[in-house]
Amino acid sequence: MSIDLDTSLRDVLGKASAAGLANKLDLHTVGDLVRHYPRRYVSRDALTPIAELTVGEHATLVARVEKATVRPMRNRPGKLMTVVIRDDHGGRLSCTFFNPQKLAHLITPGRRALFAGKVSRFREELQLTHPEFDPLDEGEDVRPFVSVYPAAVKFGSEVVARCVRHVLDLLDDPTDPLPAYIRRAERLPELGRALRRIHVPETEADYRAARARLIWDEALGVQLALALRRQQSLERPAVACPPKPAGLLDGFDAALPFTLTEGQREVGAEIAADLARELPMNRLVQGDVGAGKTVVALRAMLQVVDGGRQAAMLAPTEVLAAQHARSLRTLLGPFGRAGELGSAERATRVTLLTGSLSTAARRQALLDAQSGAAGIVVGTHALIQDRVEFADLGLVVVDEQHRFGVEQRDVLRGRGERTPHLLVMTATPIPRTVAMTVYGDLEVSALRELPRGRSPISTTVVPAGEKPAWLQRVWRRIHEEVEAGHQAYIVCPRVGGDATKRGGAPEDEDAELIDLADPDIGAEADDGAARRPPLAVLDVAPGLAEGPLAGLRLGVLHGKLPPEEKDAVMRSFDAGELDVLVATTVIEVGVDVPNATGMVILDADRFGLSQLHQLRGRVGRGSAPGVCLLVTDAPAGTRARERLAAVAGTSDGFELARLDLELRREGDVLGAMQAGRRSGLRLLSLLRHEEIISTARGYATDLVAGDPGLAGHPALRELVDEIVGEGQAEYLSKV
C-alpha cells in the first residue's frame, strides 16, 4: 500500500487506533501523526538499576509490574494503589499511586513500563510516590531511546509510538520542500530522514539534527508567508503624497509649541519618504509610553491631507478614540477648524466616528467621511470592519498595534483599488524575533527617547499580605497627591458587580481590551493554592469612598459602562472634577491626563508585565513626578513577586517585553499569525531560534523575489499552508 502525508489514518491503522488518535489527540492524517513529535526521549543509558537508587534523586527506570493492590486510604477519602516493580537486574521497589482510577487498568502484573519520579524513603524502604508512568511495548526494549509522546488517558504514549512506527514503515519519503542549496548551506538532513529520526533516533545527534531540520521548516514557512504578504501588499499601489511646500504640515510645524525630539524627527523623515512613494507604506512605530507618537502620527496625516487625501486613525476603544479626537483637535488648534470661525487658511477637520454617537451625529460624521469634508476621521477598528465610505482614504493610522492582528491589517490593505498607506503605533516594545514573525509584514522604526522634561515614575511593590500597614500608607499617599493638586488612578483586574467570578483572568468584558499577548495573566497561581477572585472595581470603589479615600472625589471607569458615560467620566477626570479614578485596564492604553501623578494597581500580580508597564505610563505625563504602587498579596519568594520586582526595577520597556516573552506561552504569540486554523508550529521558539528565524527570513525574501507567488515551488507553497494554516492559500492564489 502506498501512502502519503494526506492519507487518512483510518486507511492505514486499525479502527480503534485511528479513532483513538482522532478523538483523543485530534490527529487525522498520516501528516498529522508524523508531525506529532515525541515530547522527550529516555535513553537506555540513563536508566538507573533499582539497586543503585538513592534517596532524593530523580530516577527514571524501566521495570515490570509484579504485583498491584488497591485499598482505601486510611485517613482521608480516596484510594491508594501499591505496586511492586522489578527491573531486569532483579531489583525490587514499591511505588504508590493516589487515586489510581485512570491508571489501574494499565498497571497490571507483567506490564513493562517506564517509571520516573523522586525516590523517597518510607519505613526504611525506598519507594517512588506517584511516579510518572509510561507503559512500554516489548519491542521497544531493543531501541537505544524510548520516545515519549504527548498522549491521553486510555491512549498512552506507547500506543502512539506503535502507530507512528507503523505509519513510518509504510510511508515513502515525502518530497522535500527545502531547496537543496538551503539544505546544504544550513547542513540540514532531508525531510524524510528527519521525520524518521525525530521519532526513532539511534543517537542523540540523530534527534538533534532531525529537530533542527524541522524547526527550519517552521521558520521558513512563517517567513515565506510573510514575504508573500509583503509582496502582495506592494502589488496594489498607494497614492504618492510627497510633502507639499507651504502646506498644512508646514504651517502646523511652524506653530508647534515644542521642538520635536530627535527620534520624532528621524521617524518623521522615514514616514515622509514612505508617503512620497507609490509603494504602500507598512510601518510600525514603537515608542515607549509618553514617547510622543501622537504628534508623529498627526504629522503623517497632515502630509496626506496636503496631498488631497484623507487619513483615518483607529484606536482600540471608544474612550481612546474620543480622546484621540480631542487631543488631535487640541494639537491642531486653528489648523483643525476648517469651516469654523477663526480657522487657519489651510485647515482641515477632525471627525469622530464611533458607534455611540447619536444617530444624527453619526449620519453627519459618515457624510463628512464620504464627502471628504473630514480630512481626519478618528474611530475604533469598527471604522474599517463596517466599511465606512471615504472620499479618498490615503493613510490609516492604527494606535496600539498589539491589539490589532495580522488579519485586520489585511482587511485594511484589501480595500479599494489603491492601498492606503499604513502606519501602526505601539507602546509595547517588540523583541526582535517577534518583530520578524508576528509583525514581519511591517517595517519597524523606534522612538527611543522621551521628550525632555518628562518626569520619572517611581514604582514600588507593596506586599499587602505581609505588611498590611503599608496599605494605609498607600492611601495616605493618594491623599497627599490630591492635596498637592494632582490626581490618581486605582486599577483593579476586574469590573465585578455580577455573579461571574472567574478564576484569575481580568475579565474586562470590553473584550478588545484584554491583551491577548498576555496569557500569563490568567495563569495558575505559582503556589497552586486556590486564590480568591481578583479585586473588582465595583467592590473596591464603594469601600474606598467610605473608608480610606473618604472626602476625595471618586469616579468609576470600566468597559461595562455605556459609552456616553465612559466618555463623561473621562472628561470630568480630564477636567480635574474628579480626584481619583477607580478603573479597569480601560485606562491602559493612551489615556493622557498630565495632571495624574499617582497610580495604585491592586492585585498587581494578576497583570502581565507589559500591561503593568503600560498602566504606569499613565502617570508622570506632566511636569510632576509620578508614583506607581503595585499592591499584591503574593508571598515573598514567589515568581509573582519576582515579576513585580522586575517591573519596579526597570523602566526599560524593551527589557520588560523580553521578560514577558520568556514568561509567556510562546504559542500564543505565534498563534496571532494564524487565521484560526490549527498551527503547524510545534518546535519553533521565538526565544531560542532567533538566528534561524533571521536566516530563514533572508532566504524567504530571496525566494519570493525570484519566484513571485512561489509558482515554481509547489512544495514550498504546501509548506506555507501546513505551517501557517490553510487560510494562507488565499494569499498565494491572489498573486
Does 590 bind Mg ion (CB under 5 A)? Our answer is yes
Residue 290 interacts, among ligand ADP, Mg ion, none and using kind-specific CB cut-offs from 5 to 8 Å, with: ligand ADP
Q: Nearest residue to Mg ion, using CB?
A: 590
What track of x and - describes contact with Mg ion for positions 658 through 697 (by CB under 5 A)?
----------------------------------------
C-beta atoms surrounding 250 within 10 Å:
16
Number of C-beta neighbours around residue 368 at 10 A:
19
Residues lying near ligand ADP in the complex (CB under 6 A):
258, 260-261, 264, 287, 289-295, 427, 451, 590, 592, 621
Nearer to Mg ion among residue 280 and residue 590 (C-beta): 590
Residue 555's closest CA among 603, 511, 596?
596
> How far apart are CB 287 and ligand ADP at their closest, in Å?
5
Cα atoms in the 13 Å half-sphere on the side-chain side of 380: 16
Q: What is the separation of C-alpha 457 from the centre of its chain, rounded to a whole number of angstroms?
A: 26
Shortest distance, position 599 Cβ to ligand ADP, whole Å:
15
**Could you count the other beta carbons within 10 Å of the beta carbon of residue 659?**
18
Say which entry of ligand ADP, Mg ion, none residue 258 contacts (CB below 5 to 8 A, set by partner kind): ligand ADP
Query: CA–CA distance from 198 to each of 31, 127, 175, 722 (Å)?
Result: 14, 33, 17, 18
DSSP string for 310-371: EEEEEESSHHHHHHHHHHHHHHHGGGGBTTSTT--TT--BEEEE-TTS-HHHHHHHHHHHHH
Q: Which is nearer to ligand ADP, 294 or 632 (CB)?
A: 294
Quote the least distance from Cβ 280 to ligand ADP, whole Å: 24
Question: In the bound complex, what is the minimum distance in angstroms from residue 718's beta carbon to ligand ADP?
Answer: 42
Least distance from ligand ADP to the Cβ atom of residue 397, Å: 11
Mark the segment that binds Mg ion (CB under 5 A) among 85-93, 515-523, 588-596, 721-729. Answer: 588-596
308 binds, among ligand ADP, Mg ion, none (CB under 5 to 8 A by kind): none
Helices then strands, each counted (H, E), the chain? 24, 21
Beta strands across the sheet bearing 310-315: 350-353, 376-380, 310-315, 393-399, 421-426, 282-287, 443-447
The one-letter code for the residue type at 674 is Q
Q: Which residues contact 488 (CB under 8 A, 6 or more apart)?
A: 478, 481, 482, 579, 580, 581, 596, 597, 598, 599, 600, 619
220 or 295: CB nearest ligand ADP: 295
Q: Who's near 310: CB < 8 A, 6+ residues apart?
A: 304, 369, 372, 374, 375, 376, 377, 390, 391, 392, 393, 394, 395
Of 326 and 413, which CB lies nearer to ligand ADP in the complex structure?
326
Q: Which residues contact 468 (CB under 8 A, 6 or more apart)?
A: none
Give the C-alpha separation, 315 to 324, whole Å: 8
* Least separation in angstroms between CB 350 and Mg ion: 16
Residue 669 contact partner, candidates ligand ADP, Mg ion, none, CB within 5 to 8 A by sort of partner: none
Residue 291 interacts with, from Mg ion, ligand ADP, none (CB under 5-8 Å by kind): ligand ADP
The partner in contact with residue 122, picked from ligand ADP, Mg ion, none with C-beta cut-offs of 5 to 8 angstroms by kind, is none
Q: Which is nearer to Mg ion, 191 or 311 (CB)?
A: 311
663: partner contacted, choices Mg ion, ligand ADP, none (Cβ within 5-8 A by kind): none
In single-letter form, the type of residue at position 223 comes to Q
CB-based closest residue to ligand ADP: 292
Strands 580-583, 554-557: pairing is parallel
Q: Which does 289 bind (CB under 5 to 8 A by kind): ligand ADP, Mg ion, none?
A: ligand ADP
Using the contact rule CB under 5 A, the part of the chain among 123-131, 132-140, 442-450, 585-593 near Mg ion is 585-593
Give the shortest CB-290-to-Mg ion separation in angstroms. 8
Q: Does 617 bind Mg ion (CB under 5 A)?
A: no
Longest pairwise C-alpha distance within the chain:
98
CB of 289 to Mg ion, least distance (A): 8
Minimum distance, C-beta of residue 590 to Mg ion, in the bound complex (Å): 4
In angstroms, the CA 219 to CA 696 distance is 6
**What binding mask, one character per residue, do residues 218-257 give for Mg ion by CB under 5 A, x or -?**
----------------------------------------
Closest CB to ligand ADP among residues 17, 614: 614
Of 304-312, 572-580, 590-598, 672-680: span binding Mg ion (CB under 5 A): 590-598
Nearer to Mg ion, 289 or 700 (CB): 289
500 exposure class (CB count in 10 Å sphere: 0-12, 13-18, 19+): exposed
β-strand partners of 98: 80
Residue 261 interacting entry, from ligand ADP, Mg ion, none, C-beta within 5 to 8 Å by type: ligand ADP
Question: How far is residue 534's CA from residue 518's CA, in Å, rounded to a whole number?
Answer: 16
Q: How far is the CB of 258 from ligand ADP (least distance, A)?
A: 4
Contact between residue 369 and residue 388 where contact means Cβ atoms under 8 Å apart: yes
Question: In the complex with ligand ADP, which residue's Cβ is closer, 470 or 654?
Answer: 654
Residues that bind Mg ion (CB under 5 A): 590
